[in-house]
Structure 1
């Protein structure tokens, strides 16, 4: 590993530690009613963004991650088919399998829950992704396993939407050459979009 690569990794690790601590403190201090009300509605800018998306991927939150499954009812009302990530191995491979509220979930790796292998495979048109931190460029800092990086590359036509708490915005996310920005970030307070005139891949 080059000195530059090692430095970049250290920068990301430091950013993750600080962002996790900020998220943990924010959620712990959040009014319980505000927590219960967060992320149930599908804001109109997000609804418009995914209007032509037939299949939408959510995720089962771990710990104090933003509760993505609360969006399920609103998405179903919009006629979307839902799916959830299923971690295949520890090499960063993740697939998406169909899910609806009430369907069986199995214990997966890293404390996650996912649909069983018997659930149909789906190709998501939009992916709601958890994050540790994000910045104004819509760069996403993840857990470090590379699962969503690989999923974004494999489903390159899918709309990428980060879901997080407002406290997870930081000044600068250290980014590698292969990192791609999100199309939107949604928090309990705001929708973050690309800078005006900026075209995202």
Structure 2
């Protein structure tokens, strides 16, 4: 098991790198990621169905342009709703006109009454990633639990979304950490061989 202090130190370092991305560069990076994810869909790498995204928190790369583009291609766009710590995320239908609520941790999420969806593709935020498909999250385990549950219940494709500067040589991992299938940055699209 990885030393929790090592993971916390890695999170602090990763947040500093991500926070340092210039605000002027962020919109272009989000559009580049959108185009790369659109290419994955066009080339048949993304299974049809619902695609789960996320509402950007702090300095996270904004995946909403990719999510909206996939919606126009016929995917059902959905965003997560955070339950109590220690539980998996649930996903509700989302579109730009959807009523939103402020949920746990101050993150925007679709309001009550929106249809529940089971993503076949999940765009995953992160603090850091490595070329082995490992991701460093915030430490609450929401995405690891969600991926574990979705994979137990059938297929789901996990696509890590990040700025290229978030890459590290090796992410500290534990046995419960779920690997990604793809990682998409503004510079490249990485298919993870497992």
TM-score, normalised to structure 1, is: 0.87
Q: For 2:189, which of 188, 191, 201 is the aligned residue? A: 191
Length, aligned pairs only: 189
Q: Assess if the C-alpha contact under 8 Å between 2:19 and 2:59 holds in 1.
A: yes
Can you list the C-alpha shifts for 1:28-67, whole angstroms capped at 9, x where unaligned?
4x546635744342342354211x3211101000111010
1:76 aligns to 2:76 (yes or no): no
For 2:84 and 2:61, locate their aligned partners in 1 and report how far apart those are by CA, in whole Å: 24
* Shift of residue 163, structure 1, vs aligned partner: 0.4
For 1:98 and 1:31, locate their aligned partners in 2 and report how far apart those are by CA, in whole Å: 29
Q: Structure 1: state its 5+ residue gaps.
A: none
The 1:178–1:152 alpha-carbon spacing in structure 2 relative to 1, beyond 3 Å, is same
| Residue equivalent to 1:115 | 110
| Residue equivalent to 2:45 | 49
| Residue equivalent to 1:15 | 10
Q: Name the stretch that deviates more: 69-78 or 112-121.
A: 69-78
* Shift of residue 88, structure 1, vs aligned partner: 1.6
For 1:122 and 1:33, locate their aligned partners in 2 and report how far apart those are by CA, in whole Å: 28
1:39 aligns to 2:33 (yes or no): yes
TM-score, normalised to structure 2, is: 0.89
- How large is the Cα RMSD of the aligned pairs? 1.8
| Residue equivalent to 1:171 | 169
What is the DSSP-based 3-state SS (H/G/I as helix, E as strand, rest coil) of the residue aligned with 1:125?
strand
For 2:71 and 2:31, locate their aligned partners in 1 and report how far apart those are by CA, in whole Å: 18
For 1:180 and 1:120, locate their aligned partners in 2 and report how far apart those are by CA, in whole Å: 26
| Residue equivalent to 1:152 | 147
Q: Structure 2: state its 5+ residue gaps.
A: none
